[in-house]
Amino acid sequence: MKTSEGASESNPEIPALCAHDVLSQSDLFYVHFDERGCSATLGFSRVHGTEGIEFFLRFHDVRDVRVRGWGAPGQKDVHVERATDGTVQVSVSSDGSSMRFRAAGVVLSRERNFLAAPGS
């Protein structure tokens, strides 16, 4: 297991796992907003053959949160991009639901590889 707990939140780089094709081909199974730390954590998983990966992205100093409906866990259209003002803009959408917010930054807070049953 590989983790990045306690990673620096001042890192301006967006983790490679935030690429649109990676996130939109992964199942979004976890969303947690923590008002105490003004943070949001999104959990994703994806399986290819018998190998899987589960990872969590933690966004800090979250603001301008908008949520409309919410569907079951699964693949969604997910965009994480650095805006010209330096904030990270996040949008998640699927049929009948959407979520968007801005954050000061994002870190990969946890990553775990696992074996999956064929065809899962």
pLDDT tens for each residue of 32-77? 999 888 999 999 999 988 999 999 999 999 999 999 998 888 889 9
Percent of the chain past pLDDT 90, that is, above it, reads 70
In this structure, are strands 51-60 and 105-115 parallel, antiparallel, or unpaired?
antiparallel
pLDDT at 8: 40
pLDDT at 83 over 50: yes
Q: Assign 14 a pLDDT band (cuts: 50, 70, 90).
A: confident
d(CA 101, CA 87): 10
d(CA 74, CA 62): 23
pTM value is: 0.84
